Structure 1
Amino acid sequence: MVDNKLINIKSLKSPKGVFLLGHLPQFNTYNKHQVLERWVEESGELFKIHFLGKEFIVSANPDFNNKMLRLRPDTFKRFSKIDEVLKEMGIDGVFNAEGSVWKRQRKPIAEALSVKNVKAFYPIILDKTKAILEKFKNYSEKETIVDVQKEFMAFTIDITTEIAFGYKLDTINNKSNSFQKHLEVIFPMINTRVTAPLPIWRYFKSKKDRILDDSLRSIEKVIYEFIDDAKKRIEKNPSLKTKPSNFLEALLVENEAVNFTNEEIYGNVFTMLLAGEDTTSNSLSWAVFYLAQYPEIVNKVREEANIVYKTEKVSSTYEHVELLKYAYAVAQETMRLKPTTPQLYLEPNEDVVINNVAIPKGTSIILQNKVAQTQEDHFSNANSFIPERWLDHGCPMHKNHSPNVMRAFGGGARYCPGMQLAKTEMIVLISALCKHFDFKLEVKPEDIREQFEFTMYPENLKVTFKSLKTTK
């Protein structure tokens, strides 16, 4: 793509497929993100695939991808099927909104998740971190083998639901709750429907579809009750306008200038649950996957924790978080090597040319982002877990360091507004875990499989925790 000759989609390479079905049989699997990675090796950074005749462009070129992301929301939008599926479920928030609707919603959502409000939410993060530390201490005493992905899911569910609207679940302590059970039904079904080649559920409802409908109705009823309660609280207690106690209250305060409908408020609260649960818990799981293999890195995180918040069990103030630079580096390096959203789906609102490639309006595009994050051109020793690369003057051998190719939180104007909250959760828990425990993998690293279900998580990650007797 160095000359000025216009490239047509039909001239792009394509990996080997199957007659009529195309590439669907290979792609319709638990590790579709790794299938895309193999196809990049086979066909290069830019190629085409098709599912039952439906054509897609796949790009692993970071420059190509960044240009598309920067052209959102005007020239490019999210893959329309995602919006269709979410709206069918009654979810119409900033995540799937486009155009003028997105522009109207973006600012109040960003303000509701601003650093100021994340600071206000910090006691919730602190409380849940202490709870999971206590649970892991009990696991340590009993030498229990821990399914960390499941435990971190409980951790982020408890944080997200309390921050979203002040609802205390306590799934960390295995207290079952119907709200949590409904969420566990809904999230996997979103992935199933978005990746389904045909919308069979619109014509025939399976048992899973009927269960999904029941769960959606139940969640909707509960959230609307929370919306009504929050409005009444703010009316009775005007001080909440300057210091909201949760995301819903903050959103209602910001809403005074925007005038959201109840349906839009509901959609954004649900989006908060959707975006705040899987990605953070899965990233934390992958962090422990690496920390368990590198005790010297655990020691460095521990040393930092002992310096920053000394004898405290957990970092007690938000101001400490900014000082936990090595814990932050561990989080960044984890998201580089194991991005929980390794691909994004877009389509253009109009005919457009990117890097001499002519892309017609409505073309489906898959942005494969992980490949660039693990290439030597962008990161020296690209496949090694080296948190130091994220520190100023961390290691002189890292001559290649291109953080701009990282897409853990999207890019352009539509980057994830919950980024600060997610990073805070990760930094605090990574630091606290390393301060209080040593970790040991109970399965071989090669036996831990990357599983993709809307986000990518480690399947079969089993870990034991050894409590440090010297910590308080």
Structure 2
Amino acid sequence: MVLIQLSSLVSEVSHGQAFLGLCSLLISLIVILLIRQLVKQRRPRGFPPGPSPIPVIGNIMSLATEPHVFMKKQSEIHGQVRYLNYCGNIWHIMVLNGYDAIRECLYHQGDVFSDRPSLPLFMKMTKMGGLLNAKFGNGWIEHRQLASNSFRYFGRFQKPLDQKILEECMFFVDAIDEHKGKPFNPKHLVTNAVSNITNLIIFGERFTYDNCDFQHMIEIFSENVELAVSGWAFLYNAFPWIEYLPFGKHQKLFRNAAKVYNFLEQIIRRFSEGRVCNFPRHYIDDYLNKLDKSAGDLGTPYSRENLIYSVGELIIAGTETTTNTLRWAMLYMALYPNIQEKVHKEMDSVLGSEKSPSLADKKRMPYVEAVLHEVLRFCNIVPLGIFRATTQDTLVSGYNIPKGTMVITNLYSVHFDEKYWCDPGTFSPHRFLDSNGNFVRREAFLPFSLGKRHCLGEHLARMEMFLFFTTMLQRFHLQFPPGTVPSLTPKLGMTLQPLPYSICAVRRQQ
């Protein structure tokens, strides 16, 4: 009996020792992994300074809310060129703040800062193909050149592009007029009008404002612009294995992308019917002609898949930024009636009540130009640009930057750079005028970025902003519904857009 009890006691002690040993081993393993992670997480040698990263997650929390504002404030501590650690050792990021640092890199070292980082999200969505997220190289160069030619030579056999924009402007103001001066949310109408200009280039025709299929696609695009910078998207870039989790906003992002790509495939097929080689009617024809000519070339960058990606990227890039610029412009005209009154006076003196605006009138309306430039500066539609990556080892402000480093260009910091802007936190169109009231270009003004990856559609966007804005303000006085003032806090996504607001467009009595 005693032997049995002794044996049982020895067995319990053995099990207890084994359990304690296992716990000790597990704790030791966790400590070793944590130490290993902290060692890997150290700032690379020669890299610029930056805030201390949190173990494992790095500085990811700084990208959660208003990252452009946080990065500018940090630059006051660590300098214009600074370091961020993204999820431990996964990504070492260089952040550029201020006009001087961004110009040094994007202009003076254009080739070096022209790549895109191979983020898992980009890999998943476009396989680093298409146009916007393509890696720097011959494939991207050929796709950009093709798109540039389509923008430049559009209307070779039709009306000039500015006339097409003016036609869309009339559809736009007529649709606004249907509200009879009563409150409405302008987002839907502005989005449709702006997207139709890109549609003319890509498909050769516009979509009516009540085309449900196209409206649904634009809504999905807009939602994905927000989801692409959600916390789940950042987590996916750090831990791609969460793709297999059945929940999370990243799953919504992927489902949306699949729907859009299916829709684009269908309309590409529809608008390519009747294509005649060497007589392209629009971007799709141009692309398919290139695809046919490169048949059998294993190294060709042209493919049906890249066509879908490129079309989708052109639509969203050509719609989202200009749409949000015009929505901010409408909001600020209603917010500052004295500025709106000056716009009306200048337009009346140049155009009167009968003549429609044209691009030729631009030079004669310096105050209108100043207002639009101040909207672009103050509202920072794309505050962080699109992430870049270095193509080779380089030196920036005395710091060693390795090849493949992810680079964030804080364009917000350029437009609020106290070195170049007096009282940048105040909305003031007069900063773009000289003492005689003439329009003046400012050096530290980069809403379309800089260098080889600058916005492809900058010229088109400027045409649209001017013609839509002047056509609208010639006909209407903008004001908020009585007793309401919308929030000026932006809705954060890849772009900064105003929160939904209502506005009244009242017919002017001239």
Please indicate, yes or no, whether the TM-score normalized by the shorter chain is above 0.5.
yes
Amino acid at match of 2:399: V
Distance 1:207 1:314 in 2: 49
| C-alpha deviation, 1:123, in angstroms | 4.6
The answer as to whether partners of 1:302 and 1:431 remain within 8 angstroms in 2 is: no
The answer as to whether partners of 1:169 and 1:175 remain within 8 angstroms in 2 is: no
Structure 1 pair 205–166 and aligned structure 2 pair: CA distance change class (3 A)? farther
| C-alpha deviation, 1:348, in angstroms | 1.5
Where structure 1 has 5 or more consecutive residues not aligned to the other structure, the ranges are 1-6
Amino acid at match of 1:188: E
Q: Aligned to 1:457, what secondary structure does the other structure show?
A: strand
Does residue 32 in structure 1 map to residue 70 in structure 2? no
Aligned-CA RMSD value: 3.6
Distance 1:114 1:392 in 2: 32
Does residue 47 in structure 1 map to residue 82 in structure 2? yes
Residue of 357, 372, 375 corresponding to 1:331: 372
Deviations 1:384-409 (A, max 9, x none): 3333443566559x9xx773322211
Residue of 462, 471, 488 corresponding to 1:448: 488
Q: Aligned to 2:276, what secondary structure does the other structure show?
A: helix
| C-alpha deviation, 1:59, in angstroms | 2.0
The equivalent of 1:274 in structure 2 is 316
The answer as to whether partners of 2:84 and 2:95 remain within 8 angstroms in 1 is: yes
1:373-392 to structure 2, matched below 5 A, reads: 373-391=415-433
| C-alpha deviation, 1:449, in angstroms | 0.7
Deviations 1:238-296 (A, max 9, x none): 7x54xx4x443455577788773333322221111121121111111222232223333
The equivalent of 2:21 in structure 1 is none
Residue of 276, 281, 284 corresponding to 1:248: 284
Distance 1:336 1:167 in 2: 32
The answer as to whether partners of 1:130 and 1:314 remain within 8 angstroms in 2 is: no
Amino acid at match of 2:474: K
Distance 2:109 2:272 in 1: 33
Amino acid at match of 1:80: P
Q: Aligned to 1:96, what secondary structure does the other structure show?
A: coil
The equivalent of 2:125 in structure 1 is 89
Structure 1 pair 309–428 and aligned structure 2 pair: CA distance change class (3 A)? same
1:61-210 to structure 2, matched below 5 A, reads: 61-70=98-107, 74-81=111-118, 84-90=120-126, 92-97=129-134, 98-114=136-152, 117=155, 120-141=160-181, 143-144=182-183, 146-166=184-204, 168-171=206-209, 177-192=215-230, 195-196=234-235, 197-206=238-247
The answer as to whether partners of 1:33 and 1:342 remain within 8 angstroms in 2 is: yes
The answer as to whether partners of 2:233 and 2:250 remain within 8 angstroms in 1 is: no
Amino acid at match of 2:243: R
The answer as to whether partners of 2:51 and 2:84 remain within 8 angstroms in 1 is: yes
Structure 1 pair 357–149 and aligned structure 2 pair: CA distance change class (3 A)? farther
TM-score (norm: length of structure 1) = 0.81
| C-alpha deviation, 1:416, in angstroms | 1.3
The answer as to whether partners of 2:46 and 2:400 remain within 8 angstroms in 1 is: no
1:295-314 to structure 2, matched below 5 A, reads: 295-312=337-354, 314=356
Distance 1:268 1:71 in 2: 28
The answer as to whether partners of 2:264 and 2:308 remain within 8 angstroms in 1 is: yes
Does residue 283 in structure 1 map to residue 339 in structure 2? no
Structure 1 pair 346–183 and aligned structure 2 pair: CA distance change class (3 A)? closer
The equivalent of 1:3 in structure 2 is none
The answer as to whether partners of 1:276 and 1:422 remain within 8 angstroms in 2 is: yes
Deviations 1:143-162 (A, max 9, x none): 31x33345433333344334
The answer as to whether partners of 1:60 and 1:372 remain within 8 angstroms in 2 is: yes
| C-alpha deviation, 1:88, in angstroms | 2.1
Structure 1 pair 277–353 and aligned structure 2 pair: CA distance change class (3 A)? same
Distance 1:372 1:288 in 2: 24
Distance 2:365 2:293 in 1: 36
Distance 2:206 2:47 in 1: 55
Amino acid at match of 1:413: K
Q: Which structure has the higher relative contact order (CA within 8 Å, separation 6+)?
A: 1
Amino acid at match of 2:87: L
Does residue 466 in structure 1 map to residue 501 in structure 2? no
Deviations 1:350-380 (A, max 9, x none): 2110221211222222221222322342134
The answer as to whether partners of 1:121 and 1:163 remain within 8 angstroms in 2 is: no
- Bigger shift: 164-173 or 292-301? 164-173
| C-alpha deviation, 1:60, in angstroms | 0.8
Residue of 245, 252, 257 corresponding to 1:216: 257
The answer as to whether partners of 1:151 and 1:172 remain within 8 angstroms in 2 is: no
Does residue 370 in structure 1 map to residue 409 in structure 2? no
Deviations 1:432-454 (A, max 9, x none): 22212222345877832122211
Counting aligned pairs with the same residue, the percent is: 19
Q: Aligned to 2:82, what secondary structure does the other structure show?
A: strand
Does residue 262 in structure 1 map to residue 301 in structure 2? no
The answer as to whether partners of 1:186 and 1:212 remain within 8 angstroms in 2 is: yes
| C-alpha deviation, 1:210, in angstroms | 5.4
Distance 1:17 1:256 in 2: 51
Deviations 1:196-232 (A, max 9, x none): 3433553324375555555434433443344444444
Does residue 432 in structure 1 map to residue 471 in structure 2? yes
The answer as to whether partners of 2:383 and 2:410 remain within 8 angstroms in 1 is: yes
Q: Aligned to 1:68, what secondary structure does the other structure show?
A: helix
Structure 1 pair 327–233 and aligned structure 2 pair: CA distance change class (3 A)? farther
Amino acid at match of 1:190: A
Amino acid at match of 1:418: G
The answer as to whether partners of 2:448 and 2:458 remain within 8 angstroms in 1 is: yes
Does residue 351 in structure 1 map to residue 397 in structure 2? no
The answer as to whether partners of 1:283 and 1:340 remain within 8 angstroms in 2 is: yes
Distance 1:122 1:402 in 2: 23
Q: Aligned to 2:121, what secondary structure does the other structure show?
A: helix
Distance 2:114 2:346 in 1: 42
Where structure 2 has 5 or more consecutive residues not aligned to the other structure, the ranges are 1-42, 295-299
- Bigger shift: 116-125 or 363-372? 116-125
Amino acid at match of 1:268: S
Amino acid at match of 2:381: T
The answer as to whether partners of 1:111 and 1:254 remain within 8 angstroms in 2 is: no
Distance 2:498 2:316 in 1: 19
